[in-house]
Structure 1
Amino acid sequence: METVVTDMDGTLLAKGGAVIQPLNKEVLLDWQKRGKKVVLATGRLDLAIMPFIHELGITMPVISCNGALVRDFVKNEILMKSDISYDLLAQVIQVARDFGVDYHVYTTERIVGPTVTGKIAGFVEANKTLPENEQVPLTVTDDVVGEIIRSGAFALKVLVISEEADKRAVVREALSELPLSVMSSGATLVDIMNVGIDKAHGLAYLDEAGWLDLETTIAFGDNENDIGMIELANMGVAMENSIPETLAIADYVAGHHDTGGLGQFLLDFEK
């Protein structure tokens, strides 16, 4: 295998998504040192994972927003994006408001939300200690759609956050008639992108554009938003901590993300 494609939360990262698991870091740094490729594929906005990109020395394009965005940070160039129309974005936000759930919008330039809550609250706190080139660009405003239009940014994903399973379910049901991809990237999260968008979409783009070869690609993930890319790659690996649906479609199962299951799998695979 020449290319590792890895999800972040629940796969590459440990301690609730705060750090790269040490064994994973060691193995992936060595993987790249030997001339092989590492692609990060995440539900997060790429601008919100700059510390991890720098820590791993990633030179391949990053798949973010569940495949709605592919960006080359070496050239600082957007290679592919699937932005939600402003009208559709307004409909999604109205659904979130109707059901009283927190939401943020991930754009090509920043994260926009109505309140300093959820992920935004975490980013505000993290920005206090991050260097300027790794801080997460944020805007908090009551007029989310208007702010995105005025700034000329493109909306890629709406993230709905609720601790209540019934609210998450009714939000998904309310969005089912719209041309959207709706999936989960975490236990309390609902991710909303354009129809047909998932991490497999971003991975397929990189294959078609010649950045990698799916026949020599191994993909790691744990959640609903990883299923497509695990199925698409030549070798798909689910983490031990994966949801049942991801475990069911994977070719192999690696150890738990908190114990470096990804790194150990690659070490064992290359023996």
Structure 2
Amino acid sequence: MTLVVFDMDRTLLNAQSQISRYTQETLRLMRQADIDYTIATGRTLQAALQPLDDNGFNRSMVLKNGAVIWEPSERSYSHHHLLTPSEVNDVIGIFVQSQLTPFVFSLEHGERHAVYHAPLREGYEIKLAHLFEKERELPLQSIEEMPQDAHVINVSAMGSQDAVNRVVDYVSHHPHLVAYTGIALKEQGLAWLDVHHSEGSKGNGVRHVAETAGYSEIIAFGDGDNDLSLFEVATESYAVSNADDELKELATEVIGHHDEDGVAKFLRKRFDL
């Protein structure tokens, strides 16, 4: 059996963070052809569901870069890799030392996510908080309110490339941690950063889904460094033309741009839809 796995932002979604009508129709054709598909994304459940609504995403979903797996049929998480309290404290410490405001993502009761954050200092941090709270429906609270036994999925931030690089260097010396980063606002020289437990990768998450459901073939689509582990476990891997160079080098093939229905156009040819 074949499972098609999509990254969301800058891959399946267009520049407006939506599934285009052409891609919606392609997904409908895939369902008609009994081709299973799902997502592997850095988004939380709340943030992922809105653009996917009514497009047949009913298979196990790999969320937060593989830290958790959501089962739509059971409406619960089946698998997770969380940061330990000591790891959380260490990561927050290096963020603060590097002049980065930590946003701590947790898994709350009722299968909901929340975000705890330190005081916001920059305008872009305020905009980021607004994105989490309003657009992605994540309740924000002061980091001082975070319980000592919080179930922390990851710690995120946005800041200068130098500050982000300091954290990436720190993480590289701690085998139980992994850091993902990329360009956030190029004109301002800002990068985004996510730190997770090293076992919570897209590759490990998708491998778990495939083994559990009996898929023998994985066809993956992505654009960034958090998709590297996904491509490593895939039978076939396709990078959109706007992808990072490192991912393109690992890909089976480079396909069209995410804002020009590159994934959908490729799928129609690949499966003769």
Change (3 A) 1:217 1:84: same
- How far residue 22 of structure 1 moved from its aligned partner, in angstroms, is 2.9
Q: How far apart, CA to CA, are the structure 1 residues paired with 2:127 and 2:2? A: 37
SS in 2 for 1:197: coil
Change (3 A) 1:24 1:148: farther
Using structure 2 for the length normalisation, give the TM-score.
0.86
Query: Does residue 182 of structure 1 match 2:179?
Result: yes
Q: How far apart, CA to CA, are the structure 1 residues paired with 2:151 and 2:246? A: 31
Q: 1:52 matched to which residue of 2? A: 51
Q: How does 1:164-203 map to 2 (within 5 A)?
A: 164-178=160-174, 179-184=176-181, 187=184, 188-203=191-206
Give the AA of the match of 2:73: V
Q: What root-mean-square deviation, in Å, do the aligned CA atoms of Structure 1 and Structure 2 show?
A: 2.0
Q: How far apart, CA to CA, are the structure 2 residues paired with 1:73 and 1:182? A: 28
SS in 1 for 2:54: helix
Q: 1:103 matched to which residue of 2? A: 102
Q: 2:158 aligns with which of 161, 174, 183?
A: 161
Change (3 A) 1:186 1:53: farther
SS in 1 for 2:53: helix
Give the AA of the match of 2:245: P
- How far residue 185 of structure 1 moved from its aligned partner, in angstroms, is 5.5
SS in 1 for 2:57: coil
Query: Does residue 112 of structure 1 match 2:119?
Result: no
More moved, 197-206 vs 176-185: 176-185
Q: 1:122 matched to which residue of 2? A: 131
Q: 2:227 matched to which residue of 1? A: 226
- How far residue 265 of structure 1 moved from its aligned partner, in angstroms, is 0.4
On the 8 A contact 1:185/1:225 being kept in 2, the answer is no
Change (3 A) 1:53 1:259: same
Gaps of 5+ in 1: 127-134
Q: How far apart, CA to CA, are the structure 1 residues paired with 2:74 and 2:38? A: 16
SS in 1 for 2:143: coil
Which aligned runs of 4 or more in structure 1 are off by greater than 4 angstroms?
Answer: none
On the 8 A contact 2:237/2:251 being kept in 1, the answer is yes
SS in 2 for 1:49: helix
Gaps of 5+ in 2: 185-190
Aligned length: 255
Q: 1:260 matched to which residue of 2? A: 261
Q: How far apart, CA to CA, are the structure 1 residues paired with 2:25 and 2:257? A: 16
Change (3 A) 1:174 1:217: closer
Identity rate, percent: 23
Give the AA of the match of 1:13: L
Q: 1:8 matched to which residue of 2? A: 8
Q: How does 1:17-96 map to 2 (within 5 A)?
A: 18-96=17-95
Q: 2:188 matched to which residue of 1? A: none
